[in-house]
Amino acid sequence: MKKSKEIYDLNPDNPPWFNVRSLDYNTTFSRFQPNTSISEIVQKIMIEQWNSLISYDQFYESCAPTYCTYSQRIYKKNIFETMIMLLSLIGGLIFALRLIVPPLVNFVFNSLTRTKKEQNQTQGNRYSDIYPIGSKNAIRTNVS
């Protein structure tokens, strides 16, 4: 580090470690001229050569693997992440059940009370059908 500081201090305008050279232009490797604007290169999607001939058969013949292998990194959760996941799941279930259960219980309760009222009304109608005279007398005595 001391040596590089000495070299830089001796020649700060042109340090030897900062040797910048321009790239050599070769027409066989690039279709863009050296004075081509960046916008033109971007418009042409920075593609030097477009090959529209695609042959998958030739590709697989040239590759010709005897077997395929790949490596996959499997991420396993630690105990802390598992606990957080379980607590989040329980909290979400509690929230969902608090939204769903009260209207469901009210619906079931109301439907049961309606059926009981309908049963009571039909039984009352049966009494008047069985004893038509007695029910009329009972109504008169209650009214008077």
Local mean pLDDT, 10-residue blocks, the chain (144 residues): 62 63 74 85 80 76 73 86 95 96 93 76 56 53 50
pLDDT computed for residue 138 by the predictor: 52
Residue 19 φ/ψ, nearest 5 degrees? -100, 95
DSSP H helices, 19-78, are 38-43, 56-63
pTM, rounded to two decimals: 0.32
pLDDT computed for residue 83 by the predictor: 94
**Residue 48 · residue 29 · CB < 8 Å:** yes
pLDDT computed for residue 57 by the predictor: 79
Contacts of 7 (CB under 8 A, 6+ apart): 15, 16, 17
pLDDT computed for residue 56 by the predictor: 77
Residue 105 φ/ψ, nearest 5 degrees? -65, -40
Contacts of 85 (CB under 8 A, 6+ apart): 77
pLDDT computed for residue 104 by the predictor: 94
pLDDT computed for residue 112 by the predictor: 86
Q: How far apart are CA 131 and CA 101, in angstroms?
A: 45
pLDDT computed for residue 84 by the predictor: 94
* Residue 96 structure tokens: 């969902």
Q: Is 91 exposed, middle or buried (0-12, 13-18, 19+ CB in 10 A)?
A: exposed
pLDDT computed for residue 144 by the predictor: 46
Q: Distance from CA of residue 131 to its chain's centroid?
A: 70
What is the CB neighbour count within 10 angstroms for residue 143? 6
